Amino acid sequence: MKRHDLLNQIKEAQKEKGFVSEAVIQDMAKAIGISISDVYGVTTFYSFLSTQPQGRHTVRICKSVPCLLQNGETVSAAIEKDLGIAPGETTSDGRFTFELTNCIGACDQAPAMLVDDAIYGNLTPERIKTILQSHD
């Protein structure tokens, strides 16, 4: 394994297991001959990579200014209330992981979020409930 291929290897590990475990990070560091903290640093730099097991669905609410100016905080609070977890946490049934993210390119529909790969915009607390209920 070469250092220039590190990000692709990390993405592949994430795709296989849904997260990048400590053991995988150690193996990659050893294979490339770099420190564990270097691999960990790359893994934690990108919000779409995780070092923790994820729920079946990942909800990522945009925390960038255009969404915040369109009641993004109210929508984020509605997600917290409906799921009963804070950003960075996973529901006890393993159904949802809730995260904050930077702009997802849907500013014209602010406030916006991703559930897995699908974008949802023009969010309201009422729409949040419906969207979350549609994901098993």
Binding site for ligand FES (CB under 6 A): 62, 64, 66-67, 103-104, 106-107, 110, 112
* In the complex, minimum distance from the CB of residue 93 to ligand FES, in angstroms, rounded to a whole number: 28
Nearer to ligand FES, 25 or 98 (CB): 98
Q: What is the spatial distance between Cα 9 and Cα 20, in angstroms, rounded to a whole number?
A: 10
SS3 content of the chain, % helix, strand, coil (to 5): 45, 15, 40
CB 106 to ligand FES: min, Å: 4
Nearer to ligand FES, 26 or 47 (CB): 47
Nearest distance in Å: CB 89, ligand FES:
21
Query: Angle at which helices 125-133 and 72-83 pack, to 10 degrees?
Result: 40
Q: Which one, 28 or 67, has the nearer CB to ligand FES?
A: 67
Q: Which is nearer to ligand FES, 8 or 102 (CB)?
A: 102
**Cβ atoms within 10 A of the Cβ of 31, count?**
14
- Tokens found for residue 12: 């592949």
Show the tokens assigned to 67.
């969404």
Write the CB contacts of 78 (distance below 8 Å, at least 6 apart in sequence): 125, 128, 129
Shortest reach from residue 78's CB to ligand FES, in Å: 16
The nearest distance, CB 90 to ligand FES, in angstroms, is 23
Residue 85 tokens read as 């977890």
Q: Which of 96, 120 has the CB closer to ligand FES?
A: 120
